[in-house]
Amino acid sequence: MPPLAPSKLYFENKAGRLLEHADGYVVVEYKPGPRELADLQALLTHIRNLLDRNHWHRLLGDQRLMAPYSEAERAWIVDYWLDSSRQRAGGLYSAVLLAHDVFARLSMNQVTHAAQVSALTYRVFDTEQEAVAWLQQRA
């Protein structure tokens, strides 16, 4: 399987980069290090905009370099971002590449536990190839 090859940069800030993949999904590359809540909010809001603009339902979240979510970030993701996922027709499929940082993994587990009540279907993967193969099955 060819390596991950995003086609076009859509948005970038201190929290991460969003890319439009030629196969019809969003790639989210989280950046390492601390971030402000406003930067994460902007990144996730642009994810929603990109998904809606293209009528897409799939995303690949590359969290390998991500720092742990703060309590405020987790609360915002659960209370706002995941809640708005429930209102999406057709739901949302997310393949997640796990963070190297154990604390980032733990903070993601807290968020994904809350995701079980949203319209977000997610799977966690160790490799890009596995994640992309799963997303392709959801096309």
Res. 74 pLDDT band, cuts 50 70 90: confident
Whole-angstrom Cα distance, residue 58 to residue 138? 8
Which residue range forms the structural domain that includes residue 88?
Answer: 6-137
Q: Is residue 1 part of a domain?
A: no
Residue 16 lies in a domain: yes
Provide the CA 46 distance to its chain's centre, in angstroms.
11
Predicted model pTM: 0.83
Going by pLDDT thresholds of 50, 70 and 90, the confidence category of residue 2 is very low
Compute the distance between CA of residue 30 and CA of residue 39 in angstroms, rounded to an integer.
11
Q: Residue 12: inside a domain, yes or no?
A: yes
Residue 90: inside a domain: yes
What CATH number does the domain containing 79 carry? 3.30.750.24
Residue 36 falls within a domain, yes or no? yes
Token duo for residue 99:
């963070």
In the predicted model, is pLDDT for residue 116 greater than 80? no
Cβ–Cβ < 8 Å for 97, 139? no
Q: Answer whether residue 46 is part of any domain.
A: yes
Rounded to the nearest 5°, which phi and psi values hold at 30?
Answer: -75, 140
Query: How many distinct structural domains can be found in the chain?
Result: 1
129 half-sphere exposure, CB direction, 13 A CA radius: 3
Q: What is the pLDDT at residue 26? A: 96
Q: Which of 10, 115, 119 is nearest to 54 (CA)?
A: 10
Note whether residue 74 is domain-resident: yes
50 falls within a domain: yes
Q: Which residue has the higher pLDDT, 57 or 101?
A: 57
Cβ 105 vs Cβ 99: under 8 Å: yes
